[in-house]
Amino acid sequence: MASFRIAGDQHLKGEISPQGAKNEALQILCAVLLTDQPVTIHNIPDIRDVNKLIELLGDLGVQVKQLSPSSYRFQADQVDISILDTADYREKASALRGSVMLLGPMLGRFKTGRIPRPGGDKIGRRRLDTHFLGFEKLGAKFNFDSDESGMYHVDASHLKGTYMLLDEASVTGTANVVMAAVLAEGTTTIYNAACEPYLQQLCAMLNRMGAKISGISSNLLTIEGVDKLGGTDHTMLPDMIEIGSFIGLAAMTQSEITIKDCQIPQLGIIPDVFKRLGIKMEFRGDDIFVPAQEHYQIESFLDGGMMTVSDAPWPGFTPDLLSIVLVTAIQAQGTLLVHQKMFESRLFFVDKLIEMGAQMILCDPHRATVIGLNRQQQLKGIRMSSPDIRAGVALLIAALSAKGESIIDNIEQIDRGYQNIDGRLNAIGAKIERL
Residue ranges of the annotated binding site are 22-23, 97, 320, 342
Strand 39-42 and strand 71-75: the pairing is: antiparallel
CB atoms within 10 A of CB 50: 23
Q: Is 121 a catalytic residue?
A: yes
Strand, coil or helix: 226:
coil
Radius of gyration, alpha carbons of the chain: 22
Q: Which of 16, 17, 73, 77 is nearest to 42 (CA)?
A: 73
Kind and range of the H or E run holding 405: strand 405-409
DSSP string, 227-276: S----EEEEPPB-HHHHHHHHHHHHHTT-EEEE----GGGGTTHHHHHHH
Cα distance between residue 193 and residue 213, in whole Å: 13
Helix then strand then coil, in percent of the chain rounded to 5, is: 35, 25, 40
Tally of CA atoms within 13 A in the half-sphere of 98 that contains its CB: 23
Q: Which of 285, 273, 344 is nearest to 310 (CA)?
A: 273
Strand, coil or helix: 408:
strand
DSSP label of 66: E
Cα distance between residue 213 and residue 248, in whole Å: 37
Cα distance between residue 184 and residue 161, in whole Å: 6
Residues flagged as binding site for UDP-N-acetyl-alpha-D-glucosamine: 97, 320, 342
Residues flagged as binding site for phosphoenolpyruvate: 22-23
DSSP H helical segments within 264-320, as ranges?
A: 270-276
- Residue among 49, 121, 311, 388 flagged as catalytic: 121
Kind and range of the H or E run holding 39: strand 39-42
Cα distance between residue 165 and residue 143, in whole Å: 23
Q: Judge whether 76 and 35 are in contact, CB under 8 Å.
A: yes
- Please give the positions annotated as active site: 121
